[in-house]
Amino acid sequence: MMSGPAVELGLELHVLAEGPDVSAVAAVAHAQVGDYRDRETLRAFAAGVDVVTFDHEHVPGGLLEELEREGVVIHPSPAALIHAQDKLVMRRAVDDLGLPNPQWRAVTGTAGVEAFADETGWPVVLKTPRGGYDGKGVLVLRDAAALPAAESWFTGGELLVEQFVPFSRELSVLVARRPSGEAITWPVVESIQVDSVCDEVLAPAPGLPDDLAASLTAAALRLAESLGVTGVMAVELFETPGVGVGYLVNELAMRPHNSGHWTMDGSVTGQFEQHLRAVLDLPLGSTEPVAQHAVMKNVLGGSNTDLYGAYRSALSSGPSAKVHIYGKDVRPGRKIGHVNALAGPGEPLAAVRARAARVAAILRDGMEAPSTNQE
């Protein structure tokens, strides 16, 4: 998804992919297949580019630090990226900045989990500090009877245990920052999860009080500045009306993020172009929305494996919707694309959501298009 903006800006992308079937290989002219955990592979790849950046957080920080010492330009830097790689490091940093965290503790066994729960109350959430996403590496423990199920999670290192937060909804702030310090945010959005996977994003978050939106934006900018973030970062949050300051920090992602896919069509500058601008220290683009409402609906793998065969029905069902398919093999529940829909003049949010959902459903299930088009 970064390749289109790169072509428009006259930039040359090189990709280090973990396998020849990775969808980015088909999208760029210069793709190398190799192990991102191998020192010499990383060193050889970095020698052919001006700036190294990422589309996930799993490249070992120690190897990145070595490359940085050798003069490789890396954005975000290993010192910043660690806050997205390790949830314990992130929690400590959020505490140090005085921003609102859930109650949390580093634990090395179920006795520590039980002691934490005795203080904060059940249920609690156990997380692996590294490698988890979309609900992976997360275990909700409802009471002490669930502790035996957590025994196998402890393999010698520390895990993170947090209070179970009774939040009203999940929010996200996307921020971009360049090395020279310029930073900018997009509007706060609502992220709707289904089975721990992002299903839909509403931009801007409907019904969000202005003062809370301003606080969330200020927190995201403060995190980006204090942690030295360069590129795009998503700050995922829990809204907690009437509790504390009204929100808690959940997680950080230092890359273009699912909660920002709406920006590709819904703002003056999309997150993928902005990430390129930021890591190259170019002036950042406007993040103004181009419609009153924007909806991003994820397309998850379903019964239909012939996505192109569904295009005629899907595209005629929602001519104003924009379809983005990732070139991945279809597997049940796998994110294989998304649909963006923007509000027309005076169009209510519910109608925009319905349009995005209709197009995504046709792509997922191969449904026939409705006989009438009600754009």
**pLDDT per position as a tens digit, 122-160:** 999 999 999 766 667 899 999 999 999 999 999 989 999
Whole-structure pTM value: 0.94
Between CA 24 and CA 261, with CA 284 as vertex, the angle to 5 degrees is: 40
Q: Is residue 373 predicted with pLDDT exceeding 90?
A: no
Question: Quick one: pLDDT at residue 135?
Answer: 60
How far apart (Å, rounded) are the C-alpha atoms in residues 16 and 34?
6
Residues 207-220 have a mean pLDDT of 98
User: What b-and-e string marks burial along 304-321, b requiring 16 or more CB atoms within 10 Å of the CB?
Assistant: beebeebeebbbebbeeb
- Model confidence band, residue 371 (pLDDT cutoffs 50, 70, 90): very low
Question: Quick one: pLDDT at residue 132?
Answer: 65
Beta strand residue intervals within 94-246, DSSP E: 104-107, 124-127, 138-141, 159-163, 169-177, 183-185, 189-194, 197-203, 231-239
Q: Which of 44-48, 110-114, 131-135 has the lowest mean pLDDT?
A: 131-135
Q: Is residue 202 predicted with pLDDT exceeding 50?
A: yes
Q: Is residue 304 predicted with pLDDT exceeding 80?
A: yes
**Mean pLDDT, the chain, whole residue set:** 95
Residue 250 forms beta bridges with which residues? none
Q: Is residue 233 predicted with pLDDT exceeding 50?
A: yes
